Amino acid sequence: MADKVFVLIFSMLFVYSIFEGIVTTDHNSNSEEEQFHEFDEDPDYKYSEKANLKDTSVDETGDIEIRPPVGSEASKAFQTPTDMPTLKFLYCVSCGYKQAFDQFSQVIRDKYPGIVIEGGNFPPSTPKSLFSQFIGVAKIALIVMVIMGRDPFQSMGMTTPTVFTWMLNNKLSSCLMMFMLSNSIEGMLMSTGAFEIYLGEEQIWSKLESGRVPSPVELLQAIDSHLAIRGSKVPSSFGFDNN
């Protein structure tokens, strides 16, 4: 009877871990579509260098103004400040923000050619990171013991738990359940939901504080504002430097 109960419990945990993984994937996908819909809805000419070839400007509140080329300077390349600091993105990889980072990078490089952009995973807190590592090591140790048929409780003079006896008698199913369940827990511990942006050593946006990811317009305005504070000379819109 006890064996049947443990089998039922492990089966429920296994199904739960699979269901949670599917729900998390769908949630991250839907969340990403909602947060980054600006990239799909806005026309490409708003954020590309081709905008400089147009004779009209985009007249929308909050959008970036596009200026036409002026005189003989029309063929001159866009000027990026020589002291432009590195733009760094720290984001939650397990949340699916890698695609958002790539999209933001393209938008920024269109306005600031040659800018150095770095991206990486935002680390979780130290306790969560250590606990996640412990679970990973414990998972491997348990799987190895189960596959080899080793019982550590007997060597320590302890009574073998019924659940471990069941695992030794059902190696394949128990290893699969341990693997899926531990991976699900590790994923939850490593997921931070972060999308932090730094210009040099200064943070210009934090999703952890604001609760959302910036739009392309907001990010470009934040970069311009911080460069102005630093004293870097940058154009305020998509145009050419006439100097």
Evaluate if residue 5 carries a pLDDT over 90.
Answer: no
Question: 155 lies in a domain?
Answer: yes
Mean pLDDT of 23-41: 49
Q: Give the pLDDT of residue 38.
A: 46
Q: Measured between alpha carbons, how far is 34 from 31 in angstroms, rounded to an integer? A: 5
Place of tokens 């990403």: 32
| Within a domain: 121 | no
- Tens digits of per-residue pLDDT, 70-91? 443 433 444 555 667 899 999 9
15 — pLDDT class (breaks 50, 70, 90):
low
Residue 242 is assigned to a structural domain of this protein: no
| Any domain includes 170 | yes
**CA 117 from chain center: how many Å?**
15
Kindly give the interhelix angle for 216-230 and 98-111, rounded to the nearest 10 degrees.
50
150 Cβ partners below 8 Å, 6+ apart?
none
- In a domain, residue 50? The reply is no
Q: What's the pLDDT at 95?
A: 86
**Residue 241, in any domain of the structure:** no
Token duo for residue 207:
């999703």
Domain count, the chain: 1
Residue 66 lies in a domain: no
Decide if pLDDT at 243 tops 50.
no
Mean of pLDDT over the chain = 74
Condensed to tens digits (0 to 9), the pLDDT of residues 115-147 reads 899 999 999 989 998 999 999 999 999 999 999
What predicted TM-score, i.e. pTM, was given to this entire model? 0.55
Residue 3 lies in a domain: yes
Residue-range definition of the domain harbouring residue 205 = 1-39+89-115+144-234
**Tokens 């738990």 -> residue:** 161
